[in-house]
Each structure stands twice: as C-alpha cells, then as structure tokens.
Amino acid sequence: MARRDSIMHKPRDARGAFRRMVAFLGPHRYTIALVAGLCVLSNLLALWGPNLAGSAINEAAAGAGRVNFDRVWYFASRMLICYLASSLLTVSIHALMMRVSKRTAQRMRQDVFDKLMRLPVGYFDRHQAGDIISRVSYDIDVISTCMATDVVAILTSVVTVLGSVVMMFSISLPLSAVVLFSVPTAVIYTSRMRKITQPRFVKRSRSYGVMNGFVEEMLSGQKTIQAYAYEAQVEDRFDAINSGAAEAYYDADRYGVTIGPTMGAINNLTLSLIALLGSVLYMGGSITLGSISSFVLYSRKFSGPINEIANVINELFSALAASERVFALLDEPEELADREGAVSLRDVEGHVRLSHVSFGYEAAKTIIHDLSMEAPAGRLIAIVGPTGAGKTTIINLLMRFYDVDGGAITVDGTDIREATRRSVRGAYAMVLQDTWVFRGTIFENIAYGRENATMEEVVRAAKAAHIHPFIMRLPQGYQTVISEDGGNISKGQKQLLTIARAMLYDAPMLILDEATSNVDTSTEKEIQHAMRELMRGRTCFVIAHRLSTIQHADHILVLHQGDVVEQGTHEELMRSRGFYYRLYRAQFE
C-alpha cells in the first residue's frame, strides 16, 4: 500500500494546469464562441430588465391619480419578455456546454488510457492500480464538471459585472463609488482564501487516490483476508484511511464554504450603504425612486456574480488539483522509443545469449550481476532458485520490459536493443502464474493476440491444453461468456485457458512462469507432455519452483542473489551435490 501523504503541497504550476485544461476545449472553440455570444446576448437582455423596472416604477410613482397604467404595462411586459428570452438562452447555453463537457471528458479519458498503454511496465510497478483508476474516473469527473458549469459561470459573470458597472455609472456616480468600494475587499479576501484552500484540495484528491488503492488491494485479496481472519485489522486500517480522506474533504470544504457567506456579508453591507446614501440623494432630488430601484437591482446583479465567482473558485481549486494528477500521468515518460534504424526480428530461430548482463530496478541496487548464459535454438531452459534470486527479472529483460544496465542480450545474434520492442515481444508467447482473462467469450479469450483465428485452430489449442472437455460442458461451449477476471471459473481453468492462448499464438519462443501452478499433478503431467510436443523446435524458458517439473529440461540455470551459481542438466547438477542438489532434496525431504 502506498504511504499516505500527510503533507499538503501547493500545485507546482496552477496556471500551467489551467492553460492545459483550456487547451482541451480547443476542438470545441466554435461551440465555445457560440456559447460566449449567447452569454452576452442573454445577459444583455437580463441587464435591460432592471432599467425597464425602474421606468415602470417611475410611471407608477408619478403621483396619485396620475398613474399611466398603459405605460406601466408597456415596461413590465417588455421586462417579462427580456427575462423569458434570457432564460431560454441560458438553457441553450447549458445544453451546449454539457455536450462540450461530455466530449472533452471522453477525449481526456481516451488520452489517459492511450498513455497508459504506452507507459513502461515500471510505472505500474510503482503505482497502485486504485490510484490510477482514481485519476481516470474521479479526477476527470471533477475536471468535466468544472468545464460544464464553471466556464458558463465565468462567462456570465464577466458580462454581468461589466454590464452592471456601466449601467450603475449611468444612473449615479456616488452610488457606484459605494459599490466599487467593496470590490478591493472582495478581491483581497478571495486571494487570501485561495492560498489557504488550494493545497487542501490537492490533499483531498491524493487522499481519495490512496483510499481507492487500498480498497482495490483489499478486494483482490479478500479470500486471503478471510482465511487469516484479518477482517478486523483491515477494517481498522480502512477506518484510518477513510477518516483521513474524510478529514481532507472536510478540511478543504471547511474553508471553501466560508467564501460564499463572507462575500454575501460584504455585499449586504454594501447594499445597506446604498440604501442610506440613496435615501439622502432622493431627499435632495438628485435621483428618482425608479433609478434607486434600478440601481439596487444592478448592484445585486453586480454582487451576484462576485458571489458566484467565490463559489466557482472552490470548484476551480478542486479541478486544478485533479488536473495536476491527470496531467502528471500524461507527462510520465513513455517507454523509450526504438533506436533509429532498429530492425524487426524476422524468421526467428530462437538462439538467445546473455553476455555479462547486469541490472537493477534502482540505480543503487543491482539485482543481476554479470550474468552470462546461452540458450540454443529449440532448447528448453529452466531457471530455478530461491525467492528473490532474479528469475522473473530475467524474464523482464528477455521481453524488454526493462533494458539491461550493462552487457547485452541477443536473439539470433542481434542485440535486442537494436531491434524493435514489438518484434522482440512478438517473438515470445508468455504464460504467467498470475493468470489474466477478460470479460468475453471463451473463444475470444483463447484467440486473444491472434487475429483472424479460426474456430478449428482455437479448438486444437484447447485440446492440447486439456481444457476442451471442460469447455464443451459449458452451456454455450466456446461462446460462453467469462465474467470479469474469470470469476465464474476456477483458477486452474483460467490457467489452462492462458496456456491454450499461448499455444495458439505459435511464437518461436515461449516463456512459462510457474505456468502449471494451479492445476493438479495428473493434468500437469499431461500438459507438460503436450507442451513438449508443441514446443518441439522452439526455445522455451521455464521458471519453476517445483523442481520435479523441469527434470527433462535441456539446460538448468540455478540462480542465487542475481548470479548463476550452477548450470547443467538435472542429472549433472544432482551429481555435483551443490546448491541445486540441496534445493531439490529440500522439496522431497
């Protein structure tokens, strides 16, 4: 589980994150321009309403018995038309922005997913799956919501504020000075609150990523948790993480929710001053009652967007924090491009050589030291050794999931760093101990990686893997749908499916990492026999902990702490009575 980050960090580049958020709206610039035009029109209509209301009040206040109801109705009806038209335009604006938001979120998720497909394996070794999922789902949802609502709010607020200022100045300069006096107070307050709340929103996003990662880990290990009766301890750990996430959420909103009410108090104080000064001006005859009414309405329209902006700031802070996490993923260095002039491995025979290879996942910690080995084409090479000896690391290097730090790995004499990664990996079929199947039919799972595979080819591979009888007992046979992660079939059956998949792939080389660990002994012997027939003439690397399964290997490499301490056939190694001999005897005594 990733360490919980208890330190609040201010976003490294909030302006840069905002610019990149805006850049995602680029393909919709014409729609945004239309929305901006409609916003201007909608707000101009809404801004004309208070002026008409003031005119209607002036007509009504002309004096007892001298009210011109036709004129009052004239101004009131036009005010109603302006507000109705403004409302209809606002509905259209929100509909357009919802469409833009949906498509922008779709594009952003696609970009993130495409990026994940191009990242090196090391990224997934360093980051929890739950945290990655949180960035794809929760963080992008926050950004999408911000784009859908806050863009409109900002455009509307700008037009309303500017229009209100113009109309207020046209009515009364003294009253306008009172209103504008509140602006610096509001700006200073929101600026100070931004510095307080923004890092808290960053912490909130990170806390949710940690919580999602923990939940994903615990759900995947639910059987182990129950087997060890560890439910209470897991609940306690989740309670601590959940409390931290809730506290981060509360801490962010605790300051955020004070912005709106505080701005409302500032605006109400301003309104009180307007009423006081307006009364004095009215008594002096320098302003009409209708003008005071219009001014009050304009001051409310001026202060409304200020309050709205204060609320939008909270959402912007949250969106900026979320966007930094998303853009941090998009900015991750991708798997290094193939070298210029890299060749594509063709007609691979499978002669593999490791010459003085050294490698470490971290620069200061070398795992493989000066490893040399040779696997002639068509040979079965077994790699054995205790946990942590470097067996899986060798597989990672053979597949170019990582590149060696020193030495070289060649296939048919070609340094794999001089070949394209696609061709190197395409030369291997791979079966791992951790089986992977996806939601789809049995046929689709076996045919994965082999385009245009026929039913006959899939059935032949399934028979060779001894999974065909089981498939035929299913309700729809090969068209039976496997649930997500193969929850409706056993682990052994999932492993047989992945073995059938590798057989169908028909690569010149094969990697088996404890590929039969989830099947019974009799089935394992049948699979071993079938695979020996299918692998005839192919180079095969087998990692095995059960040494009884690799006695027939052409060559056995014995690893210990990253070094090949012994190598040879099973009989040769047993006769030497060295490290392999002790490992073998330990399993049977």
* Domain covering 437-506 assigned CATH 1.10.600.10 in the classification: no
What is the bridge-based pairing of β-strands 414-415 and 406-411? antiparallel
Question: Who has greater pLDDT, 285 or 239?
Answer: 239
Residue 201: HSE in the Cβ half-sphere, 13 Å Cα cutoff: 28
The reported pLDDT for the residue numbered 11 is: 47
pLDDT-based confidence at residue 67 (cuts at 50, 70, 90): low
Q: How far are the Cα atoms of 14, 19, 246, 450 from residue 193, in angstroms, in the given order?
A: 15, 22, 21, 57
pLDDT-based confidence at residue 485 (cuts at 50, 70, 90): low
**What is the Cα–Cα distance from 118 to 330, expressed in whole angstroms?**
10
Question: Who has greater pLDDT, 576 or 524?
Answer: 576
**What is the Cα–Cα distance from 353 to 348, expressed in whole angstroms?**
14
Domain 338-427+508-589 in the same topology as domain 15-330: no
* For residues 399-410, average pLDDT: 91
pLDDT-based confidence at residue 407 (cuts at 50, 70, 90): very high
pLDDT-based confidence at residue 133 (cuts at 50, 70, 90): confident
> Could you tell me the CATH superfamily of domain 338-427+508-589?
P-loop containing nucleotide triphosphate hydrolases (3.40.50.300)
Domain 15-330 falls in which CATH fold? Answer: ABC transporter transmembrane region fold (1.20.1560)
pLDDT-based confidence at residue 484 (cuts at 50, 70, 90): low
The reported pLDDT for the residue numbered 419 is: 93
CB contact at 8 A, 157 and 309: yes
What are 527-564's pLDDT values in tens digits?
666 666 667 778 889 887 777 778 888 889 888 877 78
Strand partners of residue 380: 540
CB contact at 8 A, 381 and 555: yes
* For residues 334-341, average pLDDT: 85
The reported pLDDT for the residue numbered 264 is: 72
Helix axes 151-171, 173-220, angle to 10 degrees: 170
Where in the chain are the domains? 15-330, 338-427+508-589, 437-506
What are 284-326's pLDDT values in tens digits?
777 877 777 777 787 777 776 766 676 677 677 778 888 888 8
* For residues 26-47, average pLDDT: 85
pTM: 0.66
Question: Strand, helix or coil at 566?
Answer: strand
**What is the Cα–Cα distance from 561 to 36, expressed in whole angstroms?**
65
